[in-house]
A and B are shown apart, each in its own frame.
Chain A
Amino acid sequence: MSALQTISSLIYLVSAVCYVLGVHLMRSPKTARKGNGLSAVGMFLAVITIIVTIIIEGKIDAIGWVVLLVGLALGILYGVVKARKVPMTDVPQLVSLFNAVGGGAAATIGIFDYLLKGDGAGLGVAFSLPVFLDVVIGGITFSGSLIATGKLSGHVSGKPISFPGSRLLNIIVVIAILASAYLMMGLTTNVWYVTLALAMSLIFGLLMTLPIGGADMPVVVSLLNAFTGLAVAFAGFVINNQVLIIAGALVGAAGTILTLQMADAMNRSVANILAGGFGTGDSDSGAAAADVPVDVKETSADDIGLQLAYAHSVMIVPGYGLAAAQAQHEVAELAKVLTDQGISVNYAIHPVAGRMPGHMNVLLADVNVPYEQMKQLDDANPMFESTDVSLVIGANDVTNPLARESGNAISGMPILDVDKSKSVVVIKRSMSTGYAGVQNPLFAMDNTQMFFSDAKKGLQEIVAATKQYLE
């Protein structure tokens, strides 16, 4: 090892330690920000090291510098501006977009090295297998994550998209990917082999993600994130760089565990989500809406305003509908109107409320909801018995009392005990079921009233009505 190699390897090791400790610190709310900062320090060290290395090695030519620096500058500008400007409701799709380009970068490195080293003769399995894995996994996460971004942002329909013959097409694509592996590891190199691998993996990413419903996207994004980690690790094999291998494997493994936990919190299994995607599983989520509970009581914004104005304690239960309608400003305004009158207001936040686990906390923090008003499941549940009005906004499955019984899709899922409060008001656009496809008996209970409206519009009307009674 030359002195340069020794020093750079040691610094890469330090930066790898920063990533591991960073992830470790990110497990607790108190240290999470420090953890991310530490991991950024590790990244900074790695980048400085590679800059010094390529300067000393002196292989890079002038055009190389230009494309590198312009590419980096544009990328940093785009990434930072997007990350700063994005409204908190749109964070999930942005993370998915960042994941897509990470996969794209990993695939690019594999393609580059295959073309650079390939001169017609075979490259040997030890080199071409990592290239193949890098390109294919990177390609899948690139197109898959872009579709996930589209589904989360509404540019692509959130409904599961499938078409006749999609299973057959899947099989053909998988066979083509395997064929490209065989060709790439064979005795010749050809630009078309790696092109085939890339094209087929891009198609596979589309086919994998399109049939999955929008509500399952968080789990898919997390899974693709873990995939990208693996693609980056294989890119590290390709260019023989250990910091890529360590960081990529770390993300691959940690991301897998995180995916399982997310799926668990949503009472889904990863296998189910993906299998559903291939047309084998649950297609009944929309179909079950026929047996609607009939005896629901409808109410008006005016009446809700009256109830709230005369309540002592109000519990707000935000759900996916609130996040989708971007109504967090309205809900914060309503809470402020009430707390200004001495009415106690709290938020009961289910672990999977919002568009992603933990997302609701971020949304509410963004509109300056005081941290101590956000009650997590275990703290919120004992409070419902002394709550006058529970205001359920765009939430469904997480309040469904059926979860306490056995024999249905949500049995055993932890729920918010909204039904124990004195009065329940549900703001919802229609009687349709949540993504579990189960009817919610809460809506038909004696102390429940329904207000059918978009969360944003409904809350604006309620704020106006409440103010009128408080003046």
Chain B
Amino acid sequence: MSQELFTNLAIFVLSLLVGFEVMSKIPATLQTPMMSGANAIHGVVVVGAFVIAAEANSTLFYVLAFLGAFFAAVNVAGGYTVTDRMLGMFDRKPAAKKGEADQK
């Protein structure tokens, strides 16, 4: 096994353990926002979209790079926005002004 692979594997395993540890009992109120927040974090795949776009050199690769960039951007931008919107509703104090969040 190469040094690089071993390092990546170690990082992977330890990050899994951090993930298990950091997630203790979540109040039910926060489970949906938490899922959405975690969903936004895997939007980091957008970094990978940059990496492949930099290497693209034929039509097929350009198409794949475009798809990757589009998908990842939807994930990361939408994910953070909708999570923030949800959590903003819990922020509202009892006397909060109306209209600020209701923009449908």
Quick check: B31 and A112 within 8 Å, CB to CB? Answer: no
B57 touches A61 (CB 8 A): yes
B48, A105: Cβ atoms under 8 Å?
Answer: yes
Can you offer 28 A-B residue contacts whose CB atoms are under 8 A? A32-B33, A32-B34, A32-B90, A43-B46, A53-B50, A67-B69, A71-B68, A74-B73, A76-B74, A79-B75, A82-B78, A84-B103, A95-B32, A95-B79, A98-B79, A102-B79, A105-B71, A105-B72, A109-B45, A116-B61, A225-B38, A244-B47, A246-B11, A248-B45, A249-B12, A252-B19, A253-B16, A256-B19
Q: Does A455 contact B (CB under 8 A)?
A: no
Interface majority SS (helix, strand, loop, mixed), chain A: helix
Stretch touching chain B among A19-27, A161-169, A180-188 = A19-27
Closest to A67 in B: B66
Q: Establish whether residues A64 and B62, one from each chain, have CB atoms under 8 Å apart when the complex forms.
A: yes
Q: Which interface class (under 10, 10 to 19, 20 to 34, 35 or more) fits A? A: 35 or more
Docked pose: A277 CA to B85 CA in angstroms: 33
Give the interface segment out of A148-156, A309-317, A340-348, A367-375: A367-375
Q: Which residue among A36, A69, A106 has the maximum number of chain B CB atoms within 10 Å of its CB?
A: A36
Contact of A20 among B22, B67, B83, B98 (CB under 8 A): B22
Of A60, A67, A82, A226, most B-chain CB atoms within 10 Å: A67
Query: Is the Cβ of B44 less than 8 Å from the Cβ of A46?
Result: yes
Cβ contact within 8 Å between A36 and B47: no
When each residue 339-381 of chain A gets 1 if its CB lies under 8 Å from chain B and 0 otherwise, what string results?
0000000000001100011110110011110111000100000
Q: Does A75 contact B (CB under 8 A)?
A: yes
- Nearest A residue to B97 via CB reads A368
A to B contact number (C-beta, < 8 Å): 405
B31 to A, closest residue via Cβ: A357
Binds B, one of A202-210, A257-265, A280-288: A257-265
Report the bound CA distance from A251 to B17 in whole Å. 11
- The smallest C-beta distance from A369 to any residue of chain B, in angstroms, reads 10
A143 within 8 A of B: no
Other contacts beyond A15-B44, A244-B45, A366-B102: 11, CB < 8 A: A29-B29, A39-B80, A76-B77, A91-B82, A102-B39, A105-B72, A108-B64, A112-B55, A116-B55, A126-B5, A225-B39
CB contact list, A73-103 vs B, under 8 A: 73-76, 78-80, 82-88, 91-92, 94-95, 97-99, 101-102
Contact A86 B82 (CB under 8 A): yes
Question: What is the minimal beta-carbon distance from A169 to any residue of chain B, in angstroms?
Answer: 27
